[in-house]
Amino acid sequence: MSAIDIGQPVPAFEAVATGDKTLRLSDLKGRNVVIYFYPKDSTPGCTTQGQDFRDSMAEFDRAGTTILGVSRDSLRSHENFRSKQGFEFDLISDPDEKLCKLFDVIKLKKMYGRETLGIERSTFLIDRDGVLRQAWRKVRVKGHVADVLEAAKALG
């Protein structure tokens, strides 16, 4: 499946999330949406990235932007991670990789000399009308959330 192109509407999706929710993109119309994909709950880089989004929540909210984190971890793992880190945003469990495939974030990764398929840290900014406005792939955690926040503010 090819990635969604910048300037194109994001196809409708439905996903299970923390807080016993089913999230639909259509329910978020009227707000910008940041969807960030990360490899695994409670690992150093993923924890730092989530904390950076958490610490910028008020500014994202002022920019009319909802934050959603996505990984293949279970809802139980997500609930524990979210609670431990004080995340106010929802985490989506995507064990069947439906959202991961929609956004084309499953990539071949090399770790300890072995190749595995895993989530490539990526972030997507969707505008109030459901159109993809920006994509960051192969994300480096440091400074990333500030870049995303700046882009969200620019959408107005």
Three-class SS state of 10: coil
Angle at which helix 144-154 crosses helix 44-55, to 10 degrees, equals: 40
Whole-number pLDDT of residue 38: 96
Model confidence pLDDT, tens digit, residues 94-131? 999 999 999 999 888 777 788 888 899 999 999 999 99
- In the numeric block, which tokens belong to residue 83? 């609670």
Three-class SS state of 133: strand
Banded model confidence at residue 2, pLDDT cuts 50, 70, 90: low
CA 56 to chain centre: 15
Indicate which residue of 46, 67, 91, 119 is catalytic.
46
Q: Which of 19-33, 72-86, 110-124 has the lowest mean pLDDT?
A: 110-124
Angle at 126 between CA 123 and CA 130, to 5 degrees: 145
Domain boundaries defined on the chain: 14-154
Find out if CATH 3.40.50.1980 is the number for domain 14-154: no
Whole-number pLDDT of residue 60: 97
Q: Is 100 part of the annotated catalytic residue set?
A: no
For residues 51 and 117, which has the higher predicted lDDT (pLDDT)? 51
Whole-number pLDDT of residue 43: 93
Q: What is the pTM of this model?
A: 0.93
- In the numeric block, which tokens belong to residue 137? 């792939």
Model confidence pLDDT, tens digit, residues 8-20? 999 999 999 999 9
